[in-house]
Each structure stands twice: as C-alpha cells, then as structure tokens.
C-alpha cells in the first residue's frame, strides 16, 4: 500500500492540495483500514477534473491499484470493472480474459475511468 504525505495537483495543475496522506490500497482490507482511520477522505481518479473536487487536507484515496475481478455479463457483450481503474488498466485486464474483450471505443484520455467493453 502506498500511503505518503505529499503535494497533489490535478492534471492541469490548476488545483493543488496538501493531503495528510496519499493512499493507494491494493486490497479491500487495506482500503477498510485507511477509511476507518481517517477523519476526512476524498477519492481521486485520474485528477482530470478542473473543479476542486479532490482537494483535501485529509486522506486522498486512489482506487487505481485496488485488485478486484472483472465481472462479465452473461451474454459476454459487456463487463463491469472496479471503480477507479483507468481505461488503460481495464483494457489490459479485459484483454487477458479468455474472451479477449476489447474496448468498443478508445478515449484520447486513456487514463480516465469508466467504459464499456464489447
């Protein structure tokens, strides 16, 4: 688990913050320990928002490294990936499945989260 105190800024650098910790839990147990021990928590994705949504002096939590399975729909045409995974990680993990799923569309901003597989 990466949990350090360091400066954070969004993609453009227009929003900056000094969180008490930057935490990237790899398991649900680690995630639970961090949340239980924190007075204030905000979650960050790729930090592309221009609004000060992720700015905090508390714990800034990234779920990008959280290891969870991909859930594939029964008809095999779509899948759910864990919240916080980038398109790049989602695509990479989906490609390694037996179905070798691929993104129906690929964003120019490959670090963003949320997508649909086909």
Ligand X SMILES: Cc1cc2nc3c(=O)[nH]c(=O)nc-3n(C[C@H](O)[C@H](O)[C@H](O)COP(=O)(O)OP(=O)(O)OC[C@H]3O[C@@H](n4cnc5c(N)ncnc54)[C@H](O)[C@@H]3O)c2cc1C
Q: Which residues in the 55-74 window bind ligand X by CB under 6 A?
A: 63
Of the ranges 16-24, 31-39, 67-75, 109-117, which one interacts with ligand X (CB under 6 A)?
109-117
Q: How many residues bind ligand X (CB under 6 A)?
A: 17
Instruction: Kindly state whether residue 11 participates in binding ligand X, applying the rule CB under 6 A.
Output: yes
Instruction: Kindly state whether residue 46 participates in binding ligand X, applying the rule CB under 6 A.
Output: yes
Decide: 88 and 102 in contact? Cβ < 8 Å: no
How far are the Cα atoms of 18, 42, 48, 54, 108 from residue 14, in angstroms, in the given order? 14, 18, 10, 12, 21
Alpha-carbon dihedral angle through residues 53, 56, 58, 63, given to the nearest 10 degrees: 40
Instruction: Kindly state whether residue 25 participates in binding ligand X, applying the rule CB under 6 A.
Output: no
Interaction site with ligand X (CB under 6 A) = 11, 42-49, 53-54, 63, 83-84, 109, 112-113
């Amino acid at each position: 688990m990466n949990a350090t105190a360091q400066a954070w800024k969004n993609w453009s650098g227009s929003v900056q913050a000094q969180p008490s910790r930057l935490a990237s839990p790899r398991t649900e147990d680690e995630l639970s320990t961090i949340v239980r021990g924190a007075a204030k928590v905000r979650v960050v994705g790729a930090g592309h928002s221009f609004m000060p949504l992720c700015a905090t002096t508390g714990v800034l939590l990234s779920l990008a490294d959280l290891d969870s399975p991909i859930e594939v729909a029964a008809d095999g045409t779509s899948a759910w990936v864990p919240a916080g995974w980038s398109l790049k990680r989602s695509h990479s993990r989906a490609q390694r499945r037996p179905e070798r799923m691929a993104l129906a569309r690929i964003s120019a901003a490959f670090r963003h989260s949320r997508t649909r597989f086909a």
